[in-house]
Structure 1
């Protein structure tokens, strides 16, 4: 199977590297060339541009947002370059509207389309232990399954409409943002009354919320360790906005998401957009006069 991979950023590069390690013939492209050359050194072939994937059987893409997907996949010619019967495996976190549009345009072109956004930070991607949220037609899912197995520890299936996987990812990121917001506010409350914020977080994540999301982000909040960013705060704002858009499309009220959007905007206004999104906790601390 000849595989293409577009988008070799923080997450995409280790995901593509794991495909090479699994023995797939890989052709890669990225806007900046340093990661391309790193993967060429591992055995990949460099594409001349986003439209240079006519021979691949599956084209995977891991891009940051709607605008980049539109620019590279659609306007840049990646989708148009695919041969009949090929499959586009879109692993980006995108809006419901774009997800639906891409599914329709791929069908019109006669190529397969699978949405497979992921759960996990860069260290998880490097280890090939991502949880992958996939949706698409059964035969397309079966064809890309070996690739997903090489990049993740488990693939979760969420329906035959690709957009279903994107909504699940937005819902999951909403839950993560909610956990960060809650720990930030609770820690500020404890500190305002003379208690130890880090001690509170350690207790909380060892007892009531002894789960990876709380433990990992809780430790970052307790240590105020927001750099380097595994997932930028600006991207967290993007995903909360997309969750709100999906909620409106399905007539699902999401009042807490609306509040968090404003808190993300507060953080952005303070220049925290490039910090890890765990820095959302700084908003509660700052409002409480703690930092």
Structure 2
């Protein structure tokens, strides 16, 4: 199976590296060409354009920043669909609106190829370890099954959401929303504890060794307890985009989601500060700010 991977940010580069380690022939493309060089050294072929990258591909992974970038790389003048072989599969891994993947799936159908939404859960270190959780939806069960060996090379588990190419994107947005509620909830609890005289780190350690003993509360809670938001899993601007998509999807489906608006507003305030190199969980600092604990 010839695989192409387009989009080599921190997540994409880690995923592409694991495909190479699994022995798949790999062609890569990134708008900033220098980011492809480490993969070239590992044995990947580097293409100069999306069209060139997919010319002989059986399977194409994309991991790009937003809906606009995905549409451009797929249907643009030098995009995937200008050269993609008939019957090839596009695994769309980016966090985008469900309707974006539905619309692009129609473009693939008209072309004679397939789109399968394949968003992933996990930070870059999880991606590097090949331990992502992978969603999958779109086309048919038979088409999705063809992706399984490649998806297994990047993840520890695959969850099938059926034939709707937007379904896995819905799952991804809901999952990111839940992560946001964890961060907001932990920030509020730890800040109240601190204002009442408790040591916030000690309280975090108690919580995550008892009632909230799971990886999400432990990993994000540690950042919040110590108020040290490195390493950067995803920057605030990227996840604010995701929260915008959550709110838009909720509005479209007549679904009130007050927590989603709170998280989006926290992220907007964080983006406005222009702080470089902080994880999106740093929006938890806005809770301390509001409580008069800024800089303490």
Please point out which of 104, 109, 116 is paired with 2:111.
109
Residues 15 and 57 (structure 1 numbering): CA distance in 2 closer, same or farther, change over 3 Å? Answer: same
Residue range with higher mean Cα deviation, 231-240 or 68-77: 68-77
Does 1:30 pair with 2:30? yes
Deviation at 1:71, TM superposition (A): 2.6
Kindly report which structure 2 residues correspond to 1:1-291, keeping only aligned pairs within 5 A, or say none: 1-52=1-52, 53-75=54-76, 76-136=78-138, 137-272=140-275, 274-291=277-294
Deviation at 1:262, TM superposition (A): 1.5
Deviation at 1:273, TM superposition (A): 7.0
- Unmatched segments (≥5 aa) in structure 1: none
- 1:78-106, Cα deviation, whole Å (9 max, x unpaired): 23321111111111110122122111111
What secondary structure sits across from 1:60 in the alignment? strand
- The number of aligned residues is 291
- 1:154-198, Cα deviation, whole Å (9 max, x unpaired): 101111111100000000000001000111111111111222111
Q: CA RMSD in A?
A: 1.3
Note if contact 2:27-2:45 (Cα within 8 Å) is conserved in structure 1: yes
TM-score normalized with structure 2 length = 0.95
- Unmatched segments (≥5 aa) in structure 2: none
Residue range with higher mean Cα deviation, 16-25 or 67-76: 67-76
What secondary structure sits across from 1:203 in the alignment? helix
Runs (4+) of structure 1 exceeding 4 A deviation are: none
**Counterpart-to-counterpart distance in 1, 2:129 and 2:221:** 22
Note if contact 1:118-1:130 (Cα within 8 Å) is conserved in structure 2: yes
**Counterpart-to-counterpart distance in 2, 1:289 and 1:79:** 53
TM-score normalized with structure 1 length = 0.96
Note if contact 1:64-1:92 (Cα within 8 Å) is conserved in structure 2: yes
Note if contact 1:134-1:155 (Cα within 8 Å) is conserved in structure 2: yes
- 1:237-289, Cα deviation, whole Å (9 max, x unpaired): 11111111111222222111112212221222222475201101101000111
